Structure 1
């Protein structure tokens, strides 16, 4: 929503999009298109070069915002497309967006399948039926008794805030076409190391060895599954650019908590068909649950920032 007729001043109250929602914010600084200085209020200015305004925003009117109640690490420069006048109409929009997100989360909690899930199920049923038919349409006789594999019902209780983080993360990247700022992340390797340090002080040496095995397995699987399972399409080009910039790397040393959560929610589906016995499976899932709780307890420290993708990136990413 663009409001070009309103001149925001440093110190003024505003509303602004951050991800899929609208939040109250305070304007800290203002840079007008073409100006060599930045207005910081009270008639004072700073040189443009002294401010880290993203290059693709320098040719627009931009505003440095601080979101009410948030850590200053979330302060960011935004264009007029994201900032709105603080009034009743825009406050109403903010409430509508929050209610819509709440319904999305409730659907996630209830386990309701999305339309995409239903389509996939139907396709699987069709493919299964076709597999049982010969070319002339007659049913194949089953000469072999199918192998019986043990499956378990595996659940991972995820705290409400983490569910919100996952929903927001999906919307910010796939709908708003933003990216996780890799310079702001606490890498997965560091998060897991912090968890190990925490457990070292709270469990027996025997239990700690089990914790280490689970953590090692998670990190290994994170690195191996990253490109196939843990990236959204819009993030592929960012990954390629990072490889070109620093060479081959382990994703767990670069990517942070958002991608770790994407991994954790896939674990139950994978574990349900594991060859592990029920006792070992239960031990593993208990540890995974404790890791997710540890992440939730420390989310303020682990959360990453998102950044706007440049128009060139947005264009190139559509070819990946």
Structure 2
């Protein structure tokens, strides 16, 4: 089935169908791809999709849209009820004097990643890091543990049933040069069907280690060093946990599966490079909203992330590829393009 430019359609995004419009088409040998704009969503959510994700705008498909939404909302309500019951049990335990561990997540007003706008006042972050009063004595260990990251990723995935992902509470200021690089990266992979050759060198772990080495000598006391070390260790955990769930384009998923088979037991931060690391950085605010980190710790962590991004800009020739590889015919056939 084919679609025309400006045609009103329904398009799958995750498990749900959304009203959308076809704004461009690209014909290939045996099929076409379509550039989709979701009604009411920012242009940054526009994406190229195959015909398998698009449905005609008609009564039958509109009924399917409503059924999918009802099913998703019912599942979300059931999950919320389960969490509420667990929270009540936790409170009973506290009242009876038992040692219990908080299990609730921070509420949040948003779940979408963003590369636009400014963070909170930079001066506030600088003050949090440089004040004579102590910076957070720790970036809470549970906030960067594998269990906490798993919980944050799961929470973000559950919120995919919302009509339009709202903006996150926190933002990371991405340098303009990296914003442009991210756009080019998207075009290479989703439009030109190219891939980043793996394994990458330097790897994500190597990039983190290099930034740590460049920064740590400027820290003046043990508290600052401890906070910084925890933040850097947390980045590797977040990357390993988020890569397969959040950081890959559809065209890259087969490559990811092949890498996992070829390098069993190897962490993904030792396979992938800075190209995927900056995708994590722009996704980090929505993950942080689902941790129990206090605002001072968050400002401190995001301050380090922004310094890391500036470091990558200064060393972009070392960390970013200048040539993508064309996917093989066999790979394309596996993807179905």
Quick one: distance in 2 between partners of 1:255 and 1:173? Answer: 15
Contact 2:106 2:291 in 1 (8 A): no
Question: Does the alignment pair 1:246 with 2:263?
Answer: yes
Q: Which residue of 1 aligns with 2:215?
A: 199
- CA drift of 1:193 comes to 0.3
Contact 1:185 1:257 in 2 (8 A): no
| 1:130-279 equivalences in 2 (<5 Å) | 131=74, 149-151=106-108, 153-206=169-222, 207-279=224-296
Quick one: distance in 2 between partners of 1:172 and 1:183? Answer: 18
Quick one: distance in 1 between partners of 2:105 and 2:220? Answer: 38
Evaluate the alpha carbon distance shift between residue 113 and residue 257 of structure 1 in structure 2; reply closer, same or farther with a 3 A threshold.
closer
Q: Which residue of 2 aligns with 1:55?
A: none
Quick one: distance in 2 between partners of 1:248 and 1:266? Answer: 25
Quick one: distance in 2 between partners of 1:276 and 1:148? Answer: 10
Q: Which residue of 2 aligns with 1:316?
A: 334
Quick one: distance in 2 between partners of 1:268 and 1:276? Answer: 12
Quick one: distance in 1 between partners of 2:256 and 2:263? Answer: 11
TM-score, structure 2 normalization? 0.51
Evaluate the alpha carbon distance shift between residue 249 and residue 204 of structure 1 in structure 2; reply closer, same or farther with a 3 A threshold.
same
Evaluate the alpha carbon distance shift between residue 209 and residue 176 of structure 1 in structure 2; reply closer, same or farther with a 3 A threshold.
same
Q: Which residue of 1 aligns with 2:22?
A: none
Instruction: Tell which structure's C-alpha radius of gyration is larger.
Output: 1
Indicate the structure with greater helix content.
2
Evaluate the alpha carbon distance shift between residue 312 and residue 274 of structure 1 in structure 2; reply closer, same or farther with a 3 A threshold.
same
Quick one: distance in 2 between partners of 1:130 and 1:208? Answer: 44
| Deviation digits for residues 232-263 of structure 1 (CA, Å, limit 9, x no counterpart) | 22112222322333333111001011100110
Unaligned runs of 5+ in 1: 1-110, 117-121, 133-143
Question: Does the alignment pair 1:297 with 2:297?
Answer: no
| 1:81-92 equivalences in 2 (<5 Å) | none
- RCO (CA 8 Å, sep 6+): is it higher in 1 or 2? 2
Count of paired positions: 198
Mean Cα displacement is larger for which, 241-250 or 156-165?
Answer: 241-250
Q: Which residue of 2 aligns with 1:8?
A: none
Q: Which residue of 2 aligns with 1:79?
A: none
- CA drift of 1:183 comes to 4.8
Contact 2:203 2:269 in 1 (8 A): yes
Q: Which residue of 1 aligns with 2:45?
A: 114
Contact 2:211 2:308 in 1 (8 A): yes
Evaluate the alpha carbon distance shift between residue 313 and residue 294 of structure 1 in structure 2; reply closer, same or farther with a 3 A threshold.
same
| Deviation digits for residues 43-75 of structure 1 (CA, Å, limit 9, x no counterpart) | xxxxxxxxxxxxxxxxxxxxxxxxxxxxxxxxx
Contact 2:200 2:272 in 1 (8 A): no
Unaligned runs of 5+ in 2: 1-41, 48-64, 76-84, 89-103, 110-168
Quick one: distance in 1 between partners of 2:327 and 2:301? Answer: 38
SS of residue paired to 2:192: coil
Quick one: distance in 1 between partners of 2:298 and 2:304? Answer: 10
Q: Which residue of 1 aligns with 2:26?
A: none
- CA drift of 1:308 comes to 0.9
- CA drift of 1:299 comes to 0.9
SS of residue paired to 2:195: strand
Quick one: distance in 2 between partners of 1:128 and 1:242? Answer: 35
Quick one: distance in 1 between partners of 2:309 and 2:179? Answer: 11
Q: Which residue of 2 aligns with 1:306?
A: 324
- CA drift of 1:288 comes to 1.4
- CA drift of 1:209 comes to 1.9
Mean Cα displacement is larger for which, 303-312 or 147-156?
Answer: 147-156
Contact 2:105 2:292 in 1 (8 A): no
| Deviation digits for residues 17-49 of structure 1 (CA, Å, limit 9, x no counterpart) | xxxxxxxxxxxxxxxxxxxxxxxxxxxxxxxxx
